[in-house]
Amino acid sequence: MSDTNNPDSAQRSTVLADDAQVDLEAEFQASNVQEVLDKLDRELIGLKPVKTRIREIAALLLVDRLRKQFALTSETPTLHMNFTGNPGTGKTTVAMRMAEILHRLGYVREGHLISVTRDDLVGQYIGHTAPKTKEVIKKAMGGVLFIDEAYYLYKPENERDYGAESIEILLQVMENNRDDLVVILAGYKDRMDRFFSSNPGMRSRIAHHIDFPDYSAQELLAIAKLMLAAQNYRFSPAAEQAFSEYLKLRMKLEHFANARSVRNALDRARLRQANRLFACGKKTLTKIDLMTLEAEDILASRVFVDGQPDSEPGADTAVQK
């Protein structure tokens, strides 16, 4: 790993005496990791077990940095990860912040995130997969490679499938380049469990398995209010109550995708608000009019009308990065 952009390169050049002391809190503050952790808290409601695990990994890496100042050498910690959970639970966002933490602590050179799926790695014919996979790896070097729905790489029922070739290349890189690339696999827990059972080599290279729980209805309402505020919208009191009822009903229906479904529902509510404003006959509108979602913008959802999920463009089966 090149020391050009490595925050701890200066520390490695000088070995401290055995009786020297290091200030753990000062090192933590100097790393600016707290800034990333605070950002994660602002971006994502709940997820306490996930955030706790991320803090634990950050602590491990910080202590490892301090050990190097005393020449207490050890192998580079294995940092490849597996994120499991349902759609819309924040896996991609956490991966982005993990890349920042790794960069600030000197474990990757650049700290960027490359997010891919099977289609980005696996070719359709002989000789196509290796170049595709190697090109993606090349772009990800110095950062984090995030592979969503990673279980689709393995299709044993298809003898002509080339996913196994991509897996073999990834395994080699994960072992030989772990000081310059972190791979995060993601997907539904049951499918990832089957994937690892069929690919023990991949399981042995994953050090951190983090499960992302579904959000509660209360957490999803808080997420909705954050999303609206970010776009200068707000619920009226009646609309907030209506959306709370919407969530209780929507969570019981098929294809529910946590924060992703909330975003889609809000997009549809904004569409209804715009049409309501056009139809109301007002010649002038106030700032409050333009900002406020009313109960009728929520209650027009099919969830209330016929007990079915809305099916407008951008519905809950869409992919969210």
Mean pLDDT of the chain: 88
pLDDT higher than 90, residue 224: yes
Overall average pLDDT of the 82-109 stretch: 94
Question: Which residue ranges does the chain devote to CATH 3.40.50.300?
Answer: 9-212
pLDDT tens across 18-51, in order?
666 777 788 888 888 999 999 999 999 999 999 9
Please state the pTM of the whole predicted model.
Answer: 0.83
What's the confidence (pLDDT) of residue 24? 79
Q: What are the backbone dihedrals phi and psi of residue 186, each rounded to the nearest 5 degrees, phi first?
A: -145, 150
What's the confidence (pLDDT) of residue 47? 94
Coil, strand or helix at 147: strand
The CATH class of the 217-305 domain is: mainly alpha
Length of the chain in residues, anyone?
321
pLDDT tens across 284-297, in order?
999 999 999 999 99
Residue 285 makes CB contacts below 8 A (sequence gap 6+) with 277
What's the confidence (pLDDT) of residue 308? 84
∠254-82-214 over CA atoms, to 5°?
Answer: 30
What's the confidence (pLDDT) of residue 276? 95
Separation CA 161–CA 167 (nearest Å): 12
Q: Residue-wise over 180-213: b if at least 16 C-beta within 10 A, else e?
A: bbbbbbbbeeeebbebbeebeebeebbebbbebe
- The per-residue DSSP string of 78-129 comes to P--EEEEE-TTSSHHHHHHHHHHHHHHTTSSSS--EEEE-HHHH--SSTTTH
What's the confidence (pLDDT) of residue 168? 95
Q: Which residue has the higher pLDDT, 276 or 125?
A: 276
Q: Identify the weakest region by mean pLDDT among 114-118, 156-160, 190-194.
A: 156-160
Structure tokens at 265: 């529902």
Overall average pLDDT of the 239-254 stretch: 96
Separation CA 293–CA 266 (nearest Å): 9
Encoded amino acid at 208, one letter: H
- Give the residues across from 183 on adjacent strands: 145
What's the confidence (pLDDT) of residue 171? 96
Residue 295 makes CB contacts below 8 A (sequence gap 6+) with 236, 238, 239, 241, 242
Residue 127 makes CB contacts below 8 A (sequence gap 6+) with none
What's the confidence (pLDDT) of residue 19? 63
pLDDT higher than 90, residue 92: yes
Q: Which residue has the higher pLDDT, 9 or 133?
A: 133
pLDDT higher than 70, residue 151: yes
Overall average pLDDT of the 178-186 stretch: 94
pLDDT higher than 70, residue 186: yes
pLDDT higher than 60, residue 135: yes
Question: Which residue ranges does the chain devote to CATH 1.10.8.60?
Answer: 217-305
> What CATH number has the domain spanning 9-212?
3.40.50.300
pLDDT higher than 90, residue 125: no
Is-contact 227 266, C-beta < 8 A? yes
Matching residue, tokens 């600016």: 32
Separation CA 217–CA 188 (nearest Å): 21
What's the confidence (pLDDT) of residue 18? 62
For the chain, percent of residues with pLDDT exceeding 90: 70
pLDDT higher than 50, residue 314: no
pLDDT higher than 50, residue 264: yes
What's the confidence (pLDDT) of residue 178? 86
Q: For the purposes of burial, counting CB atoms within 10 Å of the CB of 1, is it exposed (0-12), middle (13-18) or buried (19 or more)?
A: middle
